[in-house]
């Protein structure tokens, strides 16, 4: 290791890798387009030159061998096949891990001998097959001196030390979930001492199909074997007892921990890279990268300023002093501009999440034997970083649904008169104070009859009620917990498996998810999310002596309802709102607010919406609109019904913020 990369060089390297990823996907679609090959070659050449200059030998060797293969494609000596691209994608994955290791202060070393050897064979004209692309190098544990003593002490106390090699099935997609299940089973009968690759890399799925675990346990080996083989998607488990542990030699003491340390550093930065820190923006040279913790601190300080601003505005109204009022108004305008700037600083393009989907769709389509094109529209749309962090998993699940049970097999599509290649559109766009993300496929759609049959079998709806449900209401049923219309549920997805988790995740972010489908033509999942979560506009309302806040994003309008216009259906109060029967929810009863009964002729109500459903929230009076800081209630009050948080008002009192999604049922 002769030198280290600067932050700018790391950012540039990541941009080159992202460009290589994108252009490789284009090359697969247009294998005869040599301009694409030239772009990939230039990016690889730049990476090679930089790594060779800085002394990163593994990085330089891998990029050099990649260059040779790309040169063969460019000179038409080699033809582009999916198997060849699999090997190049594997090389790119290695490069990303090495760059991440270097960024974390590591030495960028990584065992890339197998991939380099595969690239050499390709260069010599030996085309890889699918199985060869999936071969894995043998994993071996290297124990340090401390670990050796721990294992020896365990043996002295009557424990056995096992080294367990777990191999996952080829078609396993949720690898991290399987690792978690393996660890959970082993922790029940023993204690895990070491894992290879390290735990961080296993959690981030930064491994192929195999991993090693060293366990200290009093259970027999066959019990461990039986426990692990009972987990689905496990291909093979080999349990071997470590009879004696030789302490590492002096030379090994330095060498042994080096590889895991480098891998751990790579994993640590990979985890960081999954967050919006990994922003391979096109104009990195024109940006200053700020640690997200500093932005969080700045946001917290500004939130305090918003509270004090509300207090000053109230004092100026009470004193009615002209100069004070003028100064406070000016301060309010400036702080509003400051608020806009701070919120914009926290905004991150959804591209940072979308970037990983083309590769994922390509891999799944190949494994399912389907032809699928992913069109990404509006990747530059920006969202608050806290929302970005949470939105990735729901989108992954919806895309897997579309691939597995939305898009049909090529022969089925051809028989239905459709193009063999299915299309999935991933769209993002702004509308008002919300961001909409839509996933639309041109597949088989959702069968109304199939959904109703499963819903009736599971007791979700009665046969009588099912006859009167609209199509939209039927499609909403797929969000019920554990619901699935799949004939054969796979771990890639099942239409509906896990969609309840998708829905709850999005609603926890203050958003909504809706589905529309046309049988035989496709489905559309639409996600609506707030731009930011920390500062929101609310309508303050009075209920007896207490003040509550209702988010403006949920409100349709306010109304004064005459008491004679309130009807009762099944002992529940309802009103006629523009031809629709809307339930009337008395917040005084919901929150058990003490107070005298009101004898007035009218009831002030706030009409709120959740998707297509409406509800009228009855209050005592309206106070007015205000921007407030949303504060969490903390762990002790995390399960309070229909309350999403609290805020501090100008007079120092606390107002609870109502969660309209929980009230609209």
Q: Which residues are known to be catalytic? A: 45, 67, 401
Dist. CA 65–CA 44, nearest whole Å: 10
Name the DSSP letter for residue 218: S
Dist. CA 238–CA 218, nearest whole Å: 17
Which distant-in-sequence residues (6+ apart) come within 8 Å of 235 by Cβ? 167, 168, 169, 170, 209
Partnered with residue 557 across adjacent β-strands are: 607
Helices (H) and strands (E) in the chain, counts: 24, 22
Output the six-digit token pair for 21.
């990823």
Residue 662's φ and ψ, nearest 5 degrees, are -75, -30
* CA-based nearest residue to 546, from 625, 639, 663, 658: 658
Dist. CA 630–CA 547, nearest whole Å: 15
Dist. CA 208–CA 378, nearest whole Å: 32
Contact 380, 347 (CB under 8 A): no
Do β-strands 654-658 and 546-551 pair in parallel, antiparallel, or remain unpaired? Answer: parallel
Dist. CA 411–CA 530, nearest whole Å: 41
What distances in angstroms separate CA 504 from CA 397, 398, 512, 536, 665, one per listed residue? 13, 14, 9, 21, 14
State whether residue 245 is helix, strand or coil. Answer: coil
Can you give the C-alpha Rg of the chain in angstroms?
Answer: 29
What distances in angstroms separate CA 110 from CA 136, 267, 272, 560, one per listed residue? 14, 12, 19, 69
Contact 423, 442 (CB under 8 A): yes
Contact 637, 586 (CB under 8 A): no
Contact 448, 471 (CB under 8 A): yes
Which distant-in-sequence residues (6+ apart) come within 8 Å of 146 by Cβ? none
Output the six-digit token pair for 407.
């898009």
Dist. CA 405–CA 211, nearest whole Å: 31
What distances in angstroms separate CA 169 from CA 111, 117, 209, 233, 640, one per listed residue? 23, 24, 7, 5, 43
Between helix 385-401 and helix 357-368 the angle, nearest 10°, is: 20
Contact 56, 117 (CB under 8 A): no
Dist. CA 275–CA 279, nearest whole Å: 9
């Amino acid at each position: 290791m002769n030198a280290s990369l600067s932050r700018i060089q790391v950012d540039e390297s990541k941009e080159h890798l992202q460009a290589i990823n994108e252009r490789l996907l284009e090359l697969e679609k247009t294998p005869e387009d040599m301009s694409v090959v030239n772009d990939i070659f230039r990016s690889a050449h730049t990476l090679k030159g930089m790594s060779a200059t800085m002394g990163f030998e593994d990085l330089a060797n891998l990029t050099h061998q990649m260059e040779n293969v790309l040169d063969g494609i460019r000179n038409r000596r080699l033809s582009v096949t999916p198997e060849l691209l699999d090997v190049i994608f594997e090389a790119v994955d290695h490069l990303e891990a090495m760059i991440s290791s270097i960024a974390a202060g590591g030495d960028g070393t990584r065992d890339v001998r197998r991939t380099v050897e595969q690239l050499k064979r390709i260069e010599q004209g030996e085309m890889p097959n699918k199985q060869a692309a999936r071969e894995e190098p043998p994993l071996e544990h290297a124990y340090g001196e401390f670990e050796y003593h721990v294992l020896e002490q365990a043996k002295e106390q009557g424990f056995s030390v096992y080294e367990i090699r777990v191999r996952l099935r080829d078609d396993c997609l949720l690898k991290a979930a399987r690792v978690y299940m393996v660890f959970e089973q082993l922790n029940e009968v023993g204690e895990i001492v070491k894992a290879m690759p390290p735990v961080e890399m296993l959690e981030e799925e930064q491994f192929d199909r195999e991993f090693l675990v060293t366990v200290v346990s009093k259970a027999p080996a066959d019990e461990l074997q039986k426990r692990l083989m009972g987990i689905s998607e496990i291909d093979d488990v080999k349990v071997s007892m470590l009879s004696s542990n030789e302490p590492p030699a002096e030379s090994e003491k330095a060498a042994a921990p080096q590889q895991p340390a480098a891998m751990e550093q790579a994993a640590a930065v990979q985890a960081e890279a999954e967050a919006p820190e990994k922003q391979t923006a096109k104009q990195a040279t024109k940006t200053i990268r700020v640690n997200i913790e500093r932005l969080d601190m700045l946001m917290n300080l500004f939130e305090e300023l918003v509270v004090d601003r509300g207090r000053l505005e109230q004092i100026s109204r009470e004193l009615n002093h002209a100069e004070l009022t003028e100064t406070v108004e000016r301060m309010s305008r400036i702080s509003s501009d400051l608020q806009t700037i701070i919120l914009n600083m926290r905004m991150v393009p959804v591209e940072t999440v979308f970037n990983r989907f083309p590769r994922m769709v390509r891999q799944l389509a190949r494994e399912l034997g389907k032809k699928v094109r992913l069109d990404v529209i509006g990747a530059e749309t920006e969202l608050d970083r806290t929302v970005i962090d949470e939105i990735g998993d729901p989108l992954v699940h919806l895309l897997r649904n579309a691939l597995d049970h939305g898009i049909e097999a090529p022969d089925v599509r051809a028989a239905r008169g459709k193009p063999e290649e299915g299309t999935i559109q991933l769209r993002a766009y702004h509308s008002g104070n919300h961001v909409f993300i839509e996933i639309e496929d041109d597949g088989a759609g959702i069968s109304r009859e199939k959904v109703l049959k499963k819903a009736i079998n599971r007791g979700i709806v009665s046969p009588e009620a099912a006859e009167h449900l609209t199509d939209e209401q039927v499609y909403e049923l797929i969000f019920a917990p554990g619901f699935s219309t799949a004939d054969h549920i796979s771990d890639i997805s099942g239409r509906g498996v896990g969609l309840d988790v998708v829905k709850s995740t999005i609603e926890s972010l203050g958003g909504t998810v809706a589905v529309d489908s046309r049988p035989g033509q496709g489905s559309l999942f639409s996600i609506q999310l707030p731009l930011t979560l920390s500062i929101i506009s609310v309508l303050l309302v009075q209920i007896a002596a207490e003040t509550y806040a209702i988010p403006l994003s949920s409100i349709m309008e306010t109304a004064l309802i005459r008491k004679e216009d309130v009807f009762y259906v099944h002992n529940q109060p309802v009103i006629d709102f523009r031809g629709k029967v809307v339930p009337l929810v008395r917040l005084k009863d919901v929150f058990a607010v003490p107070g005298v009964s009101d004898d007035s002729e009218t009831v002030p109500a706030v009409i709120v919406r959740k998707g297509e459903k409406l509800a009228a929230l009855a209050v005592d009076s309206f106070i007015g609109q205000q921007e407030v800081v949303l504060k969490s209630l903390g762990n002790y009050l995390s399960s309070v019904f229909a309350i999403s948080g609290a805020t501090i008002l100008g007079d120092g009192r606390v107002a609870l913020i109502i969660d309209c999604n929980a009230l609209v049922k």
